[in-house]
């Protein structure tokens, strides 16, 4: 394109290169940007709305950082007690921490401060929601398979860190609601056997609440966690670029290519534009809906509380866990084991870990070492889909448990009944969901098979000469035939032979037996419908089609 880069004089042909080009040349000489651009400028990205869920998360993260920096200009992370004399009359003369007072100032005395606060908080709500939905998209389409397992873990860590960044963030204003949440956390930390009290005293600088937790949470919230997240995020994106995006099956799409539009210019405009769209939507949310009106909540005091005390939604499932747990407590040899709190505290990471380690379980069961760039349709992986649905159902049941008091008042039910429902549902609902989802997937597989073999129901009813009515089935185009049959179907593995080739009896390990069992459960005849073969298709279509 350009000759000047090879020409130090910059245009001996009498023409000076345009300014932009000269700047690019300068940068290339130092950063090697042309090499990077060559590989990436026309990088192809496939088009699908569900591929943009991660972008929503990415952009809301950027929005949170931008607004968060603004908030630090006005927020005082201090628990010194002050008497309030700002603009908000219903708090005049009330003793509160500087953190709370400065949050009131941001809301009532800094022009636009309230808007930025609300964008920041709504952004966090959307960020976490988008991460979860993005993760579900990756899960249900099997995009986590080789070579993307590590990136799946990066994403998972981002979700978990996001949760805790959110928690430390909404605790900063030191209002009555978040203070109650911090108190809950302190109680949970105290329940840890042996070291619980020490952890709590180190975390809070002594007895709860002390005067340290706001400044400590502040540095965790603005520095430590976002710093780690930023690193993970960059790694996550680099890997997305490096692996190239996955794509849904279809004509012309293979495991060895990626079909779509180039980064420059289409995705530059689409993805760049989408950032503004996300920012615009979140700003509009902040304009029309209040979030965390701390002025209505009052400053934190450990002897005050309000009903309806819940965490933000992403912590809601842990709230559900703690609410449904029976109050078990064991006193032995002068020590107390607070199972009623400690068990939920342990199940909380387990619920998350269950979904995080799933890719490794699946790849162990299949033993598949190939790279996968073509996405699965969820129905073609019934066990995985059922597992994911069961996980979501568990998450939902716990969310219901976490808001049991509000469901009780708004649906006129007994809080005790809801708690019991959730206690039973914790075990029953995921199992039921698993079974039902698997059935649905198999049903859809059967339908796909019928559609391939017999064509699509056209809705046209024809009367045959002898009076019978039949519906006309239209044969599928090759594109559809390909899309519906391109997936790979695994065969269940057998636990290796009991006797090896030399006739020596060998022991099958437990792991081997388990793997064979799981494989049978995944790919046995009850778990997938064989896809139509070419012979079947030709046999049916070779005659005069079908009736």
Partner 1 sequence: MKKLSARRRHPLAALVVLLFALAVTGGLYAAFAPADKAQADTTAQSLAIEEGKKLYSVGCASCHGTGGQGTSDGPSLVGVGSAAVDFQVGTGRMPAQQPGAQMPKKPKIYTQAETDQLGAYIASLGAGPIKPTEDQYSPEGANVAKGGELFRTNCAQCHNFTGKGGALTGGKYAPELDGVTPKHIYEAMQTGPQNMPSFPESVMPEKNKQDIIAYLGTVASGESESPGGLELGGLGPVAEGLFGWVFGLGALIAVAIWVAARTAKAKKS
Partner 2 sequence: MSQTGSNKDVSEENLPSEQATAHEGAMGVPPRTKSLGEVADDPFADPGLPPHEPRVQDIDKRAAKRSERTVALLFTVSMLATVGFIASYVVLPIDKIVYVWPFGHISALNFALGLTLGLALFCIGAGAVHWARTLMSDEEHAQERHPIEAPPEVKAQVMADFKQGAEESGMGRRKLIRTTLFGALAMVPLSGVILLRDLGPLPEGKLRHTLWSKGKLLVNQNTNEPLRPEDVGVGSLTFAVPEGLEEDDHDFQKEVAKAALMIVRIQPEDIKDKRELDWSHEGIVAYSKICTHVGCPISLYEQQTHHVLCPCHQSTFDLSDGARVIFGPAGHALPQLRIGVNKDGYLEALGDFDEPVGPSFWERG
160 binds partner 1 (CB under 8 A): no
Residue 44: which of partner 2, partner 1, none does it interact with, CB under 5 to 8 A by kind?
A: partner 2
Residues 6+ apart with CB under 8 A from 480: 451
Residues in region 384-443 near partner 1 by CB under 8 A: 402-406, 408-409, 412-417
Q: How many residues make up the chain in this entry?
A: 547
CB 113 within 8 A of CB 294: no
CA atoms within 13 A on the CB side of 396: 10
Q: First and final CA of the chain: distance in angstroms?
A: 62
Considering the complex, state which of residue 74 and residue 537 has its C-beta at the smaller distance from partner 1. 74
Q: What is the DSSP letter of 529?
A: P
Handedness of CA 92, 94, 98, 101 (dihedral sign): negative
Per-residue contact string for residues 177-206; x = within reach of partner 1 by CB under 8 A? x-----------------------------
Binding partner at 406 among partner 1, partner 2, none, C-beta below 5 to 8 Å by kind: partner 1
Residue placing its CB nearer to partner 1 in the complex, 65 or 309: 309
Nearest distance in Å: CB 51, partner 1: 7
Q: Which is nearer to partner 2, 371 or 494 (CB)?
A: 371
87: contact with partner 1 by CB under 8 A: no
Within residues 283-342, the interface with partner 1 by CB under 8 A covers 285-293, 296-298, 301, 303-313, 316
**Closest C-alpha to 53, from 143, 131, 124, 107:** 131
Number of residues that bind partner 1 (CB under 8 A): 72
Task: Between 162 and 382, name the residue whose CB sits nearer to partner 1.
Answer: 162
Q: At its nearest, how many Å lie between partner 2 and the CB of residue 209?
A: 5
Give 167 or 522: the residue with its C-beta nearer to partner 1: 167
Query: Which partner in partner 1, partner 2, none is near 326 (CB below 5 to 8 A by kind)?
Result: partner 2
- Which pairs from 346-352 meet CB under 8 Å and 24+ separation? 347/321, 348/317, 348/318, 348/321, 351/317, 351/321, 351/391, 351/394, 351/395, 351/398, 352/156, 352/159, 352/160
Residues of span 104-143 touching partner 1 by CB under 8 A: 107-108, 114, 118, 122, 125-126, 129-130, 133
Question: 21, 22, 43, 47: which one contacts partner 1 (CB under 8 A)?
Answer: 47
Shortest Å distance, C-beta 291 to partner 1: 5
Q: Is 74 in the site for partner 1 (CB under 8 A)?
A: no
Q: Which does 13 bind (CB under 5 to 8 A by kind): partner 2, partner 1, none?
A: none
Contact call for residue 232 and partner 1 (CB under 8 A): no
Task: Assess contact for 113 and 106: CB atoms under 8 A.
Answer: yes
Closest distance between partner 1 and the C-beta of residue 35, in Å?
A: 30
Residues between 448 and 487 that touch partner 1 (CB under 8 A): none
Distance, CA of 39 to CA of 33 (rounded, Å): 10
Q: Which two tokens stand for residue 240?
A: 């997305």
Q: Nearest to residue 302, comparing CAs of 364, 393, 211?
A: 211
Residue 202, binding choice from partner 2, partner 1, none, Cβ under 5 to 8 Å by partner class:
partner 2
Residue 374 is encoded by which pair of tokens?
Answer: 């073509």
Give the residue with the Cβ less far from partner 2, 129 or 261: 261
From partner 2, partner 1, none, interface partner of 530 (C-beta below 5 to 8 A by class) = none
Following CA atoms 76, 80, 86, 90 in sequence, which dihedral angle do they give, to the nearest 10 degrees? 120
Nearer to partner 2, 361 or 481 (CB): 481
Q: DSSP character for 532?
A: P
Distance in angstroms (rounded) separating the CA atoms of residues 186 and 208: 8
For partner 1, the closer CB: 416 or 509: 416
What does the block give as tokens for 146? 């080789």
């Amino acid at each position: 394109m350009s000759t000047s880069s090879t020409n130090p004089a910059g245009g001996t042909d009498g023409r000076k290169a345009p300014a932009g080009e000269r700047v690019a040349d300068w940068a290339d000489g130092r950063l090697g940007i042309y090499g990077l651009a060559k590989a990436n400028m026309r990088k192809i990205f496939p088009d699908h709305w569900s591929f943009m869920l991660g972008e929503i998360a990415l952009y809301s993260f950027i929005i949170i950082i931008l607004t968060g920096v603004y908030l630090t200009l006005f927020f005082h992370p201090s628990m010194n007690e002050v008497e309030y004399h700002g603009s908000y009359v219903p708090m005049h003369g009330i003793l509160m921490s500087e953190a709370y007072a400065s949050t009131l100032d941001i809301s009532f005395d800094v022009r636009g401060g309230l808007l930025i606060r609300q964008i920041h908080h709504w952004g966090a709500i959307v960020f976490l929601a988008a991460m979860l939905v993005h993760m579900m998209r990756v899960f249900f389409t099997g995009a986590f398979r080789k070579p993307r397992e590590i990136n799946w873990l990066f994403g998972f860590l981002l979700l978990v860190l996001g949760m805790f960044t959110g928690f430390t963030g909404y605790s900063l204003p030191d209002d009555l609601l978040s203070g109650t949440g911090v108190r809950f956390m302190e109680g949970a930390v105290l329940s840890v056997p042996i070291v619980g009290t020490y952890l709590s005293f180190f975390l809070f600088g002594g007895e709860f609440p002390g005067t340290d937790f706001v400044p400590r949470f502040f540095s965790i919230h603005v520095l430590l966690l976002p710093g780690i997240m930023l690193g993970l995020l960059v790694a996550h994106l680099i890997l997305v670029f490096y692996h190239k995006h996955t794509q849904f099956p279809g004509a012309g799409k293979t495991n060895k290519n990626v079909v779509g539009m180039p980064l420059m210019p289409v995705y530059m405009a689409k993805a760049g534009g989408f950032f503004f769209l996300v920012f615009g939507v979140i700003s509009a949310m902040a304009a029309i809906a209040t979030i965390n009106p701390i002025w209505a909540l009052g400053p934190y005091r450990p002897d005050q509380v309000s009903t309806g005390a819940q965490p933000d939604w992403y912590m809601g499932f842990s709230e559900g866990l703690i609410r449904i747990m029976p109050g078990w407590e064991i006193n032995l040899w002068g020590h107390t084991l607070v199972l009623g709190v400690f068990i939920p505290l342990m199940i909380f990471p387990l619920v998350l870990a269950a979904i995080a380690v799933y890719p490794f379980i699946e790849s162990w069961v299949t033993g598949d070492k190939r790279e996968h760039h073509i996405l699965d349709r969820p129905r073609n992986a019934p066990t995985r889909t059922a597992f994911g649905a069961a996980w979501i159902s568990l998450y939902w049941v716990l969310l219901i448990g976490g808001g049991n008091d509000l469901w009780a008042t708004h649906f006129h039910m007994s809080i005790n009944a809801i708690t019991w429902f959730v206690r039973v549902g914790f075990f029953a609902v995921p199992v039921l969901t698993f079974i039902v989802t698997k059935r649905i997937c198999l049903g859809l597989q059967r339908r796909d098979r019928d559609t391939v073999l017999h064509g699509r129901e056209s809705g046209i009813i024809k009367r045959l000469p002898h009076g019978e009515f039949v519906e006309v089935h239209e044969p599928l185009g090759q594109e559809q035939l390909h899309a519906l049959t391109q997936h790979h179907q695994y065969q269940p593995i057998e636990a290796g032979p009991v006797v090896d080739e030399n006739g020596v009896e060998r022991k099958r390990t437990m792991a081997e037996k388990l793997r064979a069992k799981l494989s049978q459960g995944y790919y046995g005849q009850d778990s997938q419908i064989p896809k139509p073969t070419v012979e079947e298709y030709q046999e049916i279509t070779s005659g005069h089609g079908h009736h």
